[in-house]
């Protein structure tokens, strides 16, 4: 058993959906979350910049003696995961592998849609991984860059959000996909709206929950689950504190915040 905390980082608040899912499937684990809110979004950044940010975020988490790093950001998983796995001695988990497995299991007609940030879609990480496992699969990948700002403004069921979703979803409808991968950890907050707009014929693959299930399996196999009956809570660190943060974060987590601190990841404050 390993009672050290799990470290999680994301470009902003979206990774809190992963933190929530991790707490649901592993209530005994303590969590340390870093949201790089000063530099969000990552989806429009170069691969070199994303790798640099991911290294800095990981370095902060490792300074807190975490037993593993969860990259709760699809864009960072797409561009930086392999680099981190080579450079860090600590286990590193991403969100893409589990999402790919879940999508392949869910689809019945072999038609899968992928919606994510521009960076995630541009990387072809999901497309390549799905094609590698099932070469004949039919894919529709759509960059949906306007959704993260709307979610971070708490416009989850706003008329403007629905209007933009209509523009994004028509390609998936036209292609007849029966499975839609939410390839951004912000997007699970849109599930009620998406389910209402798409109907029951489309299965939504939630990258947050699939990631949490994957991490649990890996920790079980390595004997690294915590022995604490209730964990030691969760610490939240941010590189900037945006307006409406507490209200939005508690919606992501579905619980009250326990510890929030604004820090720098340039090495100054740790």
Just list the catalytic residues. 73, 184
| CB crowding 114-132: b at 16 or more within 10 Å, else e | bbbbbbbbbbebbbebbee
Cα 264 to the chain's mean position, in Å? 21
Strands 31-35 and 234-238: parallel
Tokens 């099932």 belong to residue: 134
Q: Which two tokens stand for residue 31?
A: 């969590």
Distance of alpha carbon 125 from alpha carbon 116, whole angstroms: 11
Q: Which two tokens stand for residue 132?
A: 């590698």
Contact (CB, 8 A) for 253 and 20: yes
Distance of alpha carbon 25 from alpha carbon 216, whole angstroms: 7
Distance of alpha carbon 165 from alpha carbon 177, whole angstroms: 16
3-state helix, strand and coil shares in percent for the chain, rounded to the nearest 5: 45, 15, 35
Cα 84 to the chain's mean position, in Å? 16
| Residue 111 bridge partners (DSSP) | 138
């Amino acid at each position: 058993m390993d009672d050290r905390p799990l470290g999680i980082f994301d470009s902003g608040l979206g990774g809190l959906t992963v933190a929530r899912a991790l707490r649901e499937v592993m209530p005994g684990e303590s969590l340390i979350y870093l949201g790089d809110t000063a530099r969000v979004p990552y989806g429009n950044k170069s691969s070199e910049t994303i790798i640099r940010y991911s290294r800095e975020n990981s370095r902060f988490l490792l300074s807190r003696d975490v037993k593993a790093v969860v990259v709760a950001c699809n864009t960072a998983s797409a561009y930086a995961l392999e680099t981190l796995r080579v450079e860090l001695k600590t286990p590193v988990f991403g969100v893409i592998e589990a999402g790919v497995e879940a999508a392949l299991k869910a689809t019945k007609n072999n038609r899968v849609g992928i919606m994510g940030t521009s960076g995630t879609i541009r990387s072809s990480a999901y497309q390549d991984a799905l094609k590698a496992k099932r070469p004949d699969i039919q894919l529709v990948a759509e960059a949906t860059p306007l959704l993260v700002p709307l979610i971070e403004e708490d416009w989850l069921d706003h008329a403007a959000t629905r209007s933009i979703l209509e523009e994004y979803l028509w390609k998936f409808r036209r292609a007849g996909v029966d499975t839609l991968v939410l390839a951004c950890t912000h997007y699970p907050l849109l599930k009620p709206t998406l389910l209402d707009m798409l109907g029951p014929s489309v299965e939504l693959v939630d990258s947050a929950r699939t990631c949490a299930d994957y991490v649990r399996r890996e920790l079980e196999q390595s004997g690294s689950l915590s022995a604490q009956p209730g964990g030691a809570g969760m610490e939240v660190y941010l590189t900037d504190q945006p307006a409406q943060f507490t209200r939005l974060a508690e919606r992501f987590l579905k619980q009250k915040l326990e510890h929030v601190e604004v820090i720098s990841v340039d090495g100054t404050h740790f």
